Amino acid sequence: MRQASVERNTKETQISASVDLDGTGKYDVSTGIGFLDHMMEQLSRHSLIDLTLRAQGDLHIDFHHTTEDTGYAVGEAVSRALGDRAGIKRYGSALIPMDETLTRVALDCSNRPYLVWKVDFSRPKLGEIDTELFQEWFKAFAQSAGLTLHVETLYGENNHHIVESCYKGLARALMAAVAIDPRKADAVPSTKGVLGGSL
């Protein structure tokens, strides 16, 4: 059972997150930020990872802490559910078209966190959320999930489409990477026998 739950409580946010890597894409999400809820639902639906998420944060200040800490919490839950990462396919990638936008996402469940973010926006806000916060979410998620994660929007104009294609790309790449390879279901996919540290 590749499931895990995480609670993250600070003076700025109180967050609980639960995932089932072998789910069907069911979600129950409430962060207090409508657009972030929408993206978490897309992540769950398109990765087939069941996700339950509750977040309360200092939204009276801005959305930064809640957005970033949600990334940390969901990423940590994914990492815990992966355990020693034995049997996983490890790598995943996706090329996601959304109307005029095309985004490429590639990742390695390497336990060596790294984010390459090549995504540009034409506006500082999308609804009420600052567009710069999406990079913070992806950075926090990659850090706590232990992913080498590359996200690049090749082209696009509509900011909603750009963000949504990033999350859908992450979802599809993650679904491929965490899938169990039946030929090596008991082996960590590394010549070292452990994921993390040097190559």
The residue-averaged pLDDT of 116-130 equals 96
Q: Looking at the domain assignment, is residue 191 inside a domain?
A: no
Residue 197: the pLDDT is 58
Closest C-alpha to 92, from 4, 168, 3 = 168
The residue-averaged pLDDT of 6-20 equals 97
Q: Looking at the domain assignment, is residue 190 inside a domain?
A: no
Residue-number span of the structural domain to which 112 is assigned: 3-184
Closest C-alpha to 57, from 44, 45, 73 = 73
The residue-averaged pLDDT of 6-25 equals 97
| Separation of alpha carbons 139 and 9, rounded Å | 19
User: CB atoms < 10 A from the CB of 107, how many?
Assistant: 26
Q: Which residues contact 104 (CB under 8 A, 6 or more apart)?
A: 93, 94, 95, 96, 150, 151, 152, 153, 154, 169
Q: Count how many domains the chain has.
A: 1
Which CATH number covers residue 115? 3.30.230.40
Q: Looking at the domain assignment, is residue 193 inside a domain?
A: no
**Confidence tier at 198 by pLDDT (50, 70, 90):** very low
Q: Looking at the domain assignment, is residue 117 inside a domain?
A: yes
Per-residue pLDDT tens for 136-161? 999 999 999 999 999 999 999 999 99
The residue-averaged pLDDT of 108-132 equals 96
**Confidence tier at 75 by pLDDT (50, 70, 90):** very high
Residue 184: the pLDDT is 77
Amino acid at the residue 51: L
Residue 183: the pLDDT is 85
**Confidence tier at 199 by pLDDT (50, 70, 90):** very low
Per-residue pLDDT tens for 46-66? 999 999 999 999 999 999 999
Q: Looking at the domain assignment, is residue 198 inside a domain?
A: no
Q: Looking at the domain assignment, is residue 196 inside a domain?
A: no
| Separation of alpha carbons 119 and 174, rounded Å | 19
Q: Identify any residues that bridge with 58 across adjacent strands, giving them in sequence order.
A: none
Q: Looking at the domain assignment, is residue 192 inside a domain?
A: no
Q: How many residues does the chain have?
A: 199
pTM (two decimals):
0.93
Say yes or no to pLDDT of 196 above 90: no
**Terminal-to-terminal C-alpha distance of the chain:** 28
